């Protein structure tokens, strides 16, 4: 028995040694705790500029907090496309996005599943990704399979990144935003985001698993500052004002410069919306857009608080407009005029008596068009009235299941400016992202003659054929099963509960903060205290370097470490001994 | 065919189970806000990181709980096995 207790004590000592090893760097970091209240210390935590068409580089990170996603990288088959990604963060969305409404905008268009097919849109639907929309100027309303409705107005800049905060009906804990991802290195206004305590979702690069629990303009007490602030888990303290919260009231004004595609003239469209923000709420951008036949070549967004200085949130002089967007009217005549046809990407099949019939919005009426040996002559592809190469319709190479505009035939994601992927030679088509089926057995299941049937091989061969026929699932059956079950689950009460619980598992655990605890006092502002002069909140137990309480915090840390060691030394030997003896520690 | 049939049966069964729930039910607001509440609590706790070494506290408390649970499981298994007459039970 004694050697068991000795072993238990040794194990306990080793564990305490490990704790000491952890504790030492913890204490060393005490002098750098301020890193977590600014954006300049720990490189791993610094929001970074998104350089490519994804938020964070890989699929798992691209749609933060979501389950079963692939990277929302976009590519375009047309030089005129301007893309926007919809990313839902903080929640799981495996259901299919349904485009409810898209209004306004200029750009090429590509319909997606359940799209209403208005011009100025390009939609991709995928059961694991969501939707991508391409249009410049307009309002998009999307129903996100079973989770809620997202509405946002975008189109203030063309050909540049743009972060637009919309409204989301899916409840708190789930946020959504558009990010326009195509274009040259994008510019943004620093003025509204210069404060290092303000996180800008348009700049941010978030590590996988980051929970974006909500973002929107936030008023800081005593400072009429409005900027998009993202609360990343727990790290949202304000080192300048020392508070977080409050309400600001003012007017969001948009000035949009629209250039006519007919004569190049530029006119200005303005809009304003007076509103108030609670901390963490979402600002509504006035719904201002260019008319059909125009292109947005610049925009300003200003926040004019009722008290305090104005803030310029976005200023774009038009330098970010894609050249190909300007050239689009020549490249695709008829697509960009006020009275022109909808510029959809259309796949058509040659009619027997002459002329062409549409293959449907996502090619669903021409299931075999990719593998048709006479594909080049039986089908044609066009943008609006402009006939383009059949490769442009490679987006429809998975007819009726999904539109795949930004995925190469081998399943790899394409960069935003990549040319359209070529469709493969008929007969050798590989569906993107799917496993390659093994080559079919060229040996028939039946012998060629009765004489050959005498060979016992054909007995086994026949059994093999029957088993293969019976057991092998049809192609696509598993995918269909998965999609249908997930969609059904997402719309059911258990699915809704699961969607609400998943964000709980994604909350990052940060333990090195020194900003203390902020006590909200806004609830006191009522009745006789409605106009009382006291702050909306106050912070206690701040112990960052330079704070009065920092030495006491270090002492507290030491005391707790010693206490934890004592607890471990007292309890672990007994518990370990109980495991070895099965019946508790004797003596 | 067997797999296809099994998948159809599974899909039908899952659909039947999910259809047992009310179709117009919506989550209450307090439930959808759990993540926000939890994030706020964790945020406040993290703000006290200079005072409390949460990593060490959680390690000690967690290890204690794990050791206690393992002991309890072993004890339970031993009790179950002891019920079998030829396995040491009576």
What's the gap in Å between the CA of A322 and the closest CA on chain B? 39
Q: Which of B27, B57, B78 comes nearest A171 by C-beta?
A: B27
Cα–Cα distance, B20 to A556 (Å, whole number):
54
Residues ≥6 apart with Cβ < 8 Å to A190: none
Strand order in the sheet with A266-278: A266-278, A247-260, A294-305, A311-316
Query: Whole-angstrom Cα distance, residue A185 to residue A50?
Result: 9
* Alpha carbon of A41: minimum distance to chain B alpha carbons (Å): 17
Does the beta-carbon distance from B33 to A172 stay under 8 Å? yes
pTM, full prediction: 0.33
- Better-predicted residue by pLDDT, A142 or A102: A142
With a pLDDT cut of 70, the percent of chain A lying above it is: 31
> Which two structure tokens, joined as six digits, stand for A522?
């806004």
Flag whether pLDDT at A93 surpasses 50.
Answer: no
H or E segment at A230? strand A228-232
* Angstrom distance (rounded) from CA A572 to CA B8: 52
Which residues, listed in sequence order, are joined to residue A179 by a DSSP beta bridge?
A85, A163
Q: Does the structure's ipTM exceed the value 0.90?
A: no
Mean pLDDT of A131-143: 38
Band (pLDDT 50/70/90 cuts) for residue A565 is very high
| Chain B CA closest to residue A470 | B1
pLDDT score of A173 more than 50 = no
Residue A560 touches partner B, C-beta closer than 8 Å = yes
List the one residue out of A226, A269, A232, A288 whose CA is nearest residue A251. Answer: A226
> Does the beta-carbon distance from B43 to A485 stay under 8 Å?
no
| Contact assignment for B11 to A556 by CB distance below 8 Å | no
Element of type H or E holding B43: helix B34-47
* Measured CA distances, B14 to A56, A274, A493 (Å): 35, 49, 13
**pLDDT greater than 70 at residue A210:** no
Contact in structure between B49 and A19 (CB atoms under 8 Å): no
Are residues B25 and A493, on separate chains, in Cβ contact within 8 Å? yes
| Cβ within 8 Å of residue A28, ≥6 positions away | none
Residue A155 DSSP code: -
In chain A, which residues have their Cβ closer than 8 Å to the Cβ of B55?
22, 26, 511
Integer-rounded Cα radius of gyration of chain B: 24
Across the interface, whether the CB atoms of A514 and B75 are under 8 A apart is answered no
The first and second tokens of residue A390, run together, are 């059949």
pLDDT score of A558: 93
Structure-token pair, residue A413: 């994601």
A408 contact partners, CB below 8 Å, separation of at least 6? A414, A421, A432
| A446 Cβ neighbours under 8 A, 6+ residues apart | A458, A462
**A293-310 mean pLDDT:** 67
Residue A78's pLDDT band, with cuts at 50, 70 and 90, is very low
pLDDT of B63 reads 93
Q: Which of residues 14-33 of B touch A (CB under 8 A)?
A: 14-15, 18, 21-22, 25-27, 29, 31-33
Please give the Cα distance from A539 to A520 (Å, whole number).
Answer: 9
Residue B77 touches partner A, C-beta closer than 8 Å: no
Q: What pLDDT was estimated at residue B7?
A: 83
* Chain A residues 466-525 with a CB less than 8 Å from chain B: 469-474, 477-478, 481, 484-485, 488-489, 492-497, 500-501, 503-504, 507, 509-518
The answer to whether the beta carbons of residues A395 and A361 sit under 8 Å apart is: no
What distances in angstroms separate CA A182 from CA A21, A83, A257, A411, A587, one per listed residue? 47, 6, 20, 20, 73
> Residue A555 pLDDT > 80, yes or no?
yes
Per-residue pLDDT of A432-477, as tens digits, reads: 434 334 344 445 676 766 776 777 777 777 787 777 777 776 666 7
Tally the C-alpha atoms within 13 A of residue A331's C-alpha that lie toward its C-beta: 16
Report whether A139 contacts A287 (CB < 8 A): yes
Which residue, among A439, A401, A403, A400, has the nearest Cα to A421 in the 3D structure? A403
Q: Which of A135, A127, A147, A59 is nearest to A103 (CA)?
A: A135
| pLDDT > 50? residue A262 | yes
Which pLDDT value is given to residue B62?
93
Report CB contact under 8 Å: A567, B10: no
Instruction: Determine the Cα–Cα distance for residues A3 and A177; give it in Å rounded to an integer.
Output: 62
What confidence tier does A255 reach under pLDDT thresholds 50, 70, 90?
Answer: confident
Which residues on B lie below 8 Å from A476 (Cβ)? none
- Nearest C-alpha of chain A: how many angstroms from B50? 5
With left for phi above 0 and alpha for psi between -120 and 50, is residue A523 left, alpha or beta? Answer: alpha
Determine contact: A173 vs chain B, CB below 8 A. yes
- What backbone torsions phi and psi does residue A27 show, to the nearest 5 degrees? -70, -35
- A213/B47 Cβ within 8 A: no
Name which of A348-352, B61-65, B81-85 the model is least confident about: B81-85
| DSSP string computed for A390-416 | GGGGGGGSSTTT---TTB-TTSPBPPT
pLDDT at A507: 63
Query: Which of A3-17, A346-360, A506-520, B28-42 is modeled with the greatest confidence?
Result: A346-360
Report, as an integer, the average pLDDT of A543-556.
85
Comparing A471 with A345, the larger pLDDT belongs to A471
> Cβ separation of B25 and A578 shorter than 8 Å?
no
Separation CA B50–CA A552 (nearest Å): 9
Residue A450's Cβ-side half-sphere holds a number of Cα atoms within 13 Å equal to 0
Which pLDDT band holds residue A562 (cuts at 50, 70, 90)? very high
Cβ count near A417 (within 10 Å): 15
**Most trustworthy range by pLDDT among A243-257, A285-299, A540-554:** A540-554
The listed range with the strongest mean pLDDT (A65-79, A289-303, A457-471) is: A457-471
Strands (DSSP E) found in chain B: none
Tokens of A464: 């093999």
Residue A421 pLDDT class (50, 70, 90 cuts): low
| Per-residue confidence (pLDDT) for residue A297, from 0 to 100 | 65
> With an 8 Å Cβ cutoff, are A504 and B31 in contact?
no
User: For chain B, what percent of residues have pLDDT higher than 70?
Assistant: 94
> Which pLDDT band holds residue A410 (cuts at 50, 70, 90)?
low
Which has the minimum average pLDDT: A116-130, A203-217, A515-529, B6-20? A116-130
pLDDT > 50? residue A91:
no
**Shortest Cα–Cα distance, A16 to chain B (Å):** 9
pLDDT tens for A305-320 read 776 667 665 566 655 4
Q: Can you tell me which residue has the tokens 């903080």?
A: A90
CA distance A316 to A301: 9
Average pLDDT (A72-90) is 27
Distance from C-alpha of A8 to C-alpha of A512, rounded to nearest angstrom: 32
Distance CA A496, CA A442 (A): 49
Contact A377, A326 (CB under 8 A): no
Q: How many Cα atoms within 13 Å fall on the side-chain side of residue A428?
A: 5
| Range among A44-53, A68-77, A347-356 rated most confident | A347-356
Give the pLDDT of residue A561.
92
CA distances from A36 to A39, A48, A235, A345 (A): 7, 15, 7, 48
A333 Cβ contact list (under 8 Å, min separation 6): A385, A386
Q: What number of other Cβ atoms are within 10 A of residue B38's Cβ?
A: 16
Q: What is the Cα–Cα distance from A92 to A315, expressed in whole angstroms?
A: 34
Please give, rounded to a whole number of angstroms, the shortest distance from the CA of A473 to a CA of chain B. 5
Confidence of residue B86 (pLDDT cuts 50, 70, 90): confident
Contacting residues of A for B34, CB less than 8 Å apart: 173, 500-501, 504
């Amino acid at each position: 028995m004694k050697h068991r207790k000795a072993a238990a004590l040794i194990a306990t000592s080793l564990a305490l040694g490990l704790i000491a090893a952890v504790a030492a760097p913890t204490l060393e970091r005490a002098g750098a705790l301020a890193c977590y209240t600014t954006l300049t210390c720990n490189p791993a935590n610094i929001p970074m500029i998104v350089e490519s068409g994804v938020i964070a580089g890989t699929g798992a990170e691209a749609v933060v907090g979501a389950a079963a996603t692939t990277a929302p990288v976009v590519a375009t088959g047309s030089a005129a496309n301007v893309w926007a990604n919809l990313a839902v963060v903080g929640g799981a969305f495996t259901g299919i996005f349904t485009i409810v409404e898209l209004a306004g905008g200029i750009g090429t268009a590509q319909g997606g599943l359940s799209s209403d097919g208005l011009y100025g849109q390009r939609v991709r639907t995928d059961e694991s990704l969501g939707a991508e929309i391409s249009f410049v100027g307009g309002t998009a309303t999307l129903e996100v399979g079973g989770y809620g409705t997202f509405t946002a107005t975008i189109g203030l800049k063309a050909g540049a990144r743009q972060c637009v905060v919309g409204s989301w009906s899916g409840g708190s804990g789930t946020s959504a935003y558009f990010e326009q991802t195509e274009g040259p290195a994008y510019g943004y206004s620093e003025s509204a985001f210069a404060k290092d305590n303000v996180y800008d979702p348009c700049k941010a690069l978030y590590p996988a698993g980051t929970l974006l629990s909500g973002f929107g303009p936030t008023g800081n007490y005593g400072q009429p500052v409005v900027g998009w602030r993202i609360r990343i888990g727990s790290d949202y303290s304000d080192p300048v004002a020392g508070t977080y919260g409050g309400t600001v009231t003012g007017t969001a004004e948009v000035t949009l410069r629209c250039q006519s595609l007919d004569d190049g003239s530029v006119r200005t469209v303005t809009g304003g919306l007076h509103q108030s923000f609670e901390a963490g709420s979402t600002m509504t951008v006035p719904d201002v857009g260019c008319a059909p036949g125009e292109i947005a070549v610049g925009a300003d967004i200003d926040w004019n608080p009722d008290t305090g200085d104005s803030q310029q949130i976005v200023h774009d002089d038009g330098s970010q407009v894609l050249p190909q967007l300007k050239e689009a009217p020549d490249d695709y005549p008829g697509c960009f005029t006020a009275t022109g046809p909808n510029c959809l990407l259309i796949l058509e099949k040659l009619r027997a008596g002459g002329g062409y019939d549409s293959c449907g919005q996502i090619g669903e009426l021409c299931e075999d068009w990719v593998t048709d040996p006479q594909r080049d002559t039986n089908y044609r592809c066009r943008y609006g009235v402009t006939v383009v190469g059949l490769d442009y319709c490679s987006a429809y190479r998975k007819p009726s299941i999904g539109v795949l505009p930004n995925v190469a035939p081998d399943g790899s994601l394409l960069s935003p400016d990549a040319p359209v992927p070529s469709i493969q030679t008929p007969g050798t088509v590989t569906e993107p992202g799917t496993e390659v089926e093994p080559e079919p057995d060229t040996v028939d299941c039946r012998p060629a003659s009765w004489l050959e049937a005498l060979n016992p091989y054909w007995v086994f061969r026949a059994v093999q054929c029957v088993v293969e026929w019976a057991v092998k699932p049809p192609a696509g059956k598993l995918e269909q099963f998965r999609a249908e079950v997930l969609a059904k689950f997402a719309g059911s009460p258990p699915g809704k509960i699961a969607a609400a619980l998943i964000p709980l598992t994604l909350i990052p655990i940060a333990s090195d903060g020194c900003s203390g605890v902020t006590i909200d006092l806004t609830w006191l502002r009522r009745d006789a205290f409605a106009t009382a002069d006291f702050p909306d909140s106050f912070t206690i137990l701040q112990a960052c370097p330079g704070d009065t309480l920092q030495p006491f915090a270090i002492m507290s840390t030491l005391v707790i470490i010693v206490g934890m060691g004592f607890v471990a030394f007292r309890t672990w030997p007994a518990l370990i001994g109980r495991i070895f003896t099965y019946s508790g520690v004797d003596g | 065919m067997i797999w296809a049939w099994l998948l159809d049966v599974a899909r039908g069964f899952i659909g039947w189970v999910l259809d047992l729930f009310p179709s117009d039910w919506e989550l209450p607001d307090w439930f959808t806000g759990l993540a926000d509440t939890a994030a706020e609590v964790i945020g406040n706790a993290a703000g006290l990181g200079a005072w409390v070494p949460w990593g060490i506290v959680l390690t000690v408390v967690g290890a204690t709980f794990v050791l206690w649970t393992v002991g309890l499981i072993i004890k339970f298994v031993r009790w179950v096995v002891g019920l079998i007459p030829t396995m040491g039970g009576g």
